[in-house]
Each structure stands twice: as C-alpha cells, then as structure tokens.
C-alpha cells in the first residue's frame, strides 16, 4: 500500500481512498482520473525509491488533502443524504466553459447583457445574437466532465435528491442527471417574446448561419473571451452587419430561454427550487461564488434552518461568513473520488 498517506491522514484511511480512486472508471470520467492516475504513479514511484519511508512531497500532501476532503464529502452525503446540490460555473470550467468571476469574486469580463437593454434596444438585440452565434461554437461542443458524472452517480445511489444549477449549459442533463432545476434557464432553446413559439437553439444556429453566410465567413469563429452564458467577444463594428433572428411564425423578437441579468426568475422555476429545498436536510454547493443572490439565498435558507452545508469552491464565496463547511478544492478532482467512496 502507500504508507506515506497513513502518516499524513491516518484518520481517513487514505490507502482505501487511493485504491478507490485508482479503480474509478477513466473512460467515463474524462477529466479528473488522468490527474489522479498521474498522482498515483508519482506516489508509487516515490515509495519504491524511498523504500516506503515516511518522507513526502508536495504532490503527496496534495493527494492526502484531496483524499481527506473527499472522505469528508462522502461521509456528509452518506450521513445527511439525500442532499440538495447547488452548482455554479466552477463545475463547468473543465468542460471549456469559463467562469464569470475570478477567485476573489470579481468580474473576469465585461458585465453581461441586461434584460432591459435586450428588450428595448435593437442594437443590443443585434449585438447579443451576433456574439451568441459565435459563442455557440464553444457552447454547442461542450461536454460533461468528471464532476458532472460524479454528481449523477451520487444521485443514482440515492445520495442526492435534487440538483439546482445556476449554469445554463445543460451539462448536468447531458451527464444523465435526472432531477435538475435550471435556476437560470438553459441555452438549449429560445422563445418568441410575442407568440411564445419555442425553437431549438441548434436549429436556430443553422438558421442564423444560413441568413448570414458572408458575415460568418468574415468574422473569426474563435475568440479569447468566451462567457458562461454563451456570449463571446467580437468587435462592435462586426456586429452591426449581422442579421439577427426573428420568429418564423410571427416575426417577433427571439430570446434564449435563460434568465438575463436584471430579469426575474419565472415562478415555475422558483416553485421547483423551493420544493427541492424543502425536501432536503442538507446542502452541498459546488463551484459557485454565490455572488448572485438566487444561489446565496438557498445557502442562507439552509443555515437559517440550522441544516448542514458544505461548499466546495476554489475562491471566495458570499457565504464564507455563514456557518458552513468550506472545502477549497477543484470539484472536478474531488467529486469523482467522493463518488468512489460511496455505496
Ligand atoms: Zn412569434
């Protein structure tokens, strides 16, 4: 086995943790296991060189911390589950979708389009759809990562009752997670603001490309500034030549079925989220700074009811001063190991 870990985290039986991880299915979990496998190889190499001494390196410390934290989360869901899970942009970064904010909670990009501007300004409407048409190249290709699959596995095993996500990328659904509440809607469809006609976003993309062949040919299709809502930066002058989509039924404006900044969350979504909150006795937050009030409110509700909360996030969160257990780790590494430790 790996005595290095016994010395570092004896109370959490890390040898079992490492064995559990090394048995994790790498074909399904595309991101985390490669990292863990590298660590396993490093540690095995260290042990063979050191003759199983008690010395340890930075990587072994990191893995011991990871093993310990994964055990904490596994025990949490086993003891308090089925838990409610709340996810934010941090869980999707390993799928190539960037976060809005840095680890200090500050904006990484220019602020997103506001609902009022989208509705009232023809220029903002045109610019939004031009940038979305480019951003979709990334969003449409994104696939679930090890973190999404691990949460789906925890749900299958009865440890997760519902999952509320602030993300609009639909990656939890793609990972076969069943009980998902898209708190801010999702990008897979768009609806007419006049007649409520709903269109699949993928077919809308094809329509926009058919209507703007020269524009797509002249605008760079990759960008260094991609946002989690599917927006992408392109030069303002380029957006002026884009023909934005219109409803094929009535000619009205189309809006993606996401909740814009400055827009209220639909009542049916609020009701679904409240039901999910009421049914759970504990909350696991994954990859969210909780800056947006709709997410923070859920944490505050659990704290007010004196129910246990764990937050897995690599940066500051708005709830850091509340009575929660904070785990500073990459969820895409931690969750697959957590799933491996549960029954
Ligand atoms: Zn319409």
Q: Of the candidates 51, 170, 91, which has an alpha carbon nearest to the alpha carbon of residue 333?
A: 91
The DSSP call for residue 21 is H
Residue 324 has what pLDDT?
Answer: 97
Ligand 1: distance of its center to the CA of 7 in Å? 66
Confidence of residue 58 (pLDDT cuts 50, 70, 90): low
Tell me the mean pLDDT in the region 176-205.
95
Ligand 1: distance of its center to the CA of 276 in Å? 33
Provide the 10 A C-beta neighbour count for residue 202. Answer: 12
- The full DSSP string for 259-295 is --BT-PPPHHHHHHHHHHHHH-S-EEEES----SHHH
Ligand 1: distance of its center to the CA of 215 in Å? 25
> Residue 28: helix, strand or coil by DSSP?
coil
The answer, yes or no, to whether residue 23 has pLDDT greater than 90, is no
Enumerate residues 6+ apart whose C-beta is below 8 A from 76.
83, 282, 284, 308, 310, 325
The answer, yes or no, to whether residue 10 has pLDDT greater than 50, is no
Residue 290 has what pLDDT?
Answer: 95
Ligand 1: distance of its center to the CA of 137 in Å? 25
Residue 309 has what pLDDT?
Answer: 98
pTM recorded for the entire structure: 0.78
Ligand 1: distance of its center to the CA of 243 in Å? 17
Residue 221 has what pLDDT?
Answer: 57
Ligand 1: distance of its center to the CA of 174 in Å? 28
Q: What are phi and psi of 198, to 5 degrees?
A: -110, 135
The answer, yes or no, to whether residue 34 has pLDDT greater than 70, is no
Q: Which of 80, 159, 177, 184 is catalytic?
A: 184
Residue 19 has what pLDDT?
Answer: 39
Ligand 1: distance of its center to the CA of 39 in Å? 54
Residue 35 has what pLDDT?
Answer: 38
Angle at 46 between CA 40 and CA 49, to 5 degrees: 140
Does the annotation mark 109 as catalytic?
no
Higher pLDDT, 306 or 4: 306
**Per residue in 112-157, pLDDT tens?**
789 999 999 999 999 999 989 888 877 878 899 999 999 999 999 9
The answer, yes or no, to whether residue 43 has pLDDT greater than 60, is no
Confidence of residue 46 (pLDDT cuts 50, 70, 90): very low
Higher pLDDT, 188 or 106: 188
Residue 13 has what pLDDT?
Answer: 37
**Per residue in 232-271, pLDDT tens?**
656 666 778 899 999 999 999 999 999 998 999 999 999 9
Ligand 1: distance of its center to the CA of 253 in Å? 7
Confidence of residue 292 (pLDDT cuts 50, 70, 90): confident
Ligand 1: distance of its center to the CA of 164 in Å? 30
- The full DSSP string for 116-155 is HHHHH-HHHHHHHHHHHHHHHHHHTT----HHHHHHHHHH
Residue 201 has what pLDDT?
Answer: 93
List every span in the chain annotated with CATH 3.40.50.1220.
83-330
Confidence of residue 215 (pLDDT cuts 50, 70, 90): confident
Report residue 30 as tokens: 């595309």
**Per residue in 75-103, pLDDT tens?**
999 999 999 999 999 999 999 887 655 55
Residue 116 has what pLDDT?
Answer: 95
Q: What is the CATH number of domain 83-330?
A: 3.40.50.1220
Residue 106 has what pLDDT?
Answer: 58
Tell me the mean pLDDT in the region 11-19.
37
Residue 7 has what pLDDT?
Answer: 27
Q: What is the mean pLDDT of the chain?
A: 81
**CA 118/CA 115 separation, integer angstroms:** 5
Residue 102 has what pLDDT?
Answer: 54
Q: Of the candidates 166, 115, 171, 105, which has an alpha carbon nearest to the alpha carbon of residue 140?
A: 171
Residue 56 has what pLDDT?
Answer: 46
- Whole-number Cα distances in Å, 53 to 6, 41, 43, 46, 149: 11, 16, 12, 9, 36
Q: Of the candidates 288, 257, 284, which has an alpha carbon nearest to the alpha carbon of residue 89?
A: 288
Residue 218 has what pLDDT?
Answer: 82
> Torsion angle of alpha carbons 294, 296, 298, 303, nearest 10°?
-160
């Amino acid at each position: 086995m790996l005595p290095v870990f016994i010395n570092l985290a004896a109370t959490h039986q890390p040898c079992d943790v490492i064995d559990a991880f090394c048995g994790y299915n790498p074909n399904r979990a595309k991101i985390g296991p490669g990292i863990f496998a590298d660590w396993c190889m490093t540690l095995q190499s260290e042990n063979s060189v050191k003759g199983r001494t008690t010395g340890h390196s930075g990587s072994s410390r990191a893995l011991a911390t990871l093993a310990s934290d994964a055990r904490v989360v596994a025990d949490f869901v086993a003891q308090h589950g089925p838990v409610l899970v709340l996810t934010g942009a941090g869980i999707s970064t390993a799928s190539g979708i960037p976060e809005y904010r840095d680890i200090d909670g500050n904006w990484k990009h220019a602020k997103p389009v506001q609902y009022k501007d989208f509705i009232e300004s023809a220029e903002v409407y045109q610019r939004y759809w031009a940038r979305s048409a480019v951003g979709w190249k990334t969003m449409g290709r994104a696939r679930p990562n090890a973190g999404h699959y691990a949460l789906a596995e925890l749900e299958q095993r009865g440890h997760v009752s519902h999952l509320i996500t602030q993300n609009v990328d639909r990656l939890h659904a793609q990972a076969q997670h069943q009980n998902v509440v898209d708190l801010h809607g999702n990008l897979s469809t768009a609806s007419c603001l006049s007649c409520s006609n709903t269109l699949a976003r993928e077919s809308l993309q094809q329509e926009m490309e058919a209507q703007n062949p020269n524009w797509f040919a002249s605008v760079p299709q990759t960008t260094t500034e991609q946002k989690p809502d599917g927006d992408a930066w392109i030069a303002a002058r380029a957006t002026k030549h884009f023909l934005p989509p219109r409803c094929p039924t009535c000619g009205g404006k189309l809006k993606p079925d996401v909740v814009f900044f400055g827009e209220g969350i639909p009542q049916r979504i609020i009701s679904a989220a409240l039901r999910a909150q009421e049914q759970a006795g504990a909350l696991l937050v994954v990859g969210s700074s909780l800056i947006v009030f709709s997410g923070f409110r859920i944490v505050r509700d659990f704290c007010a009811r004196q129910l246990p909360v764990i937050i897995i996030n690599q940066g500051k969160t708005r709830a850091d001063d509340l009575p929660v257990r904070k785990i500073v780790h990459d969820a895409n590494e931690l969750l697959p190991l957590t799933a491996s430790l549960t029954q």
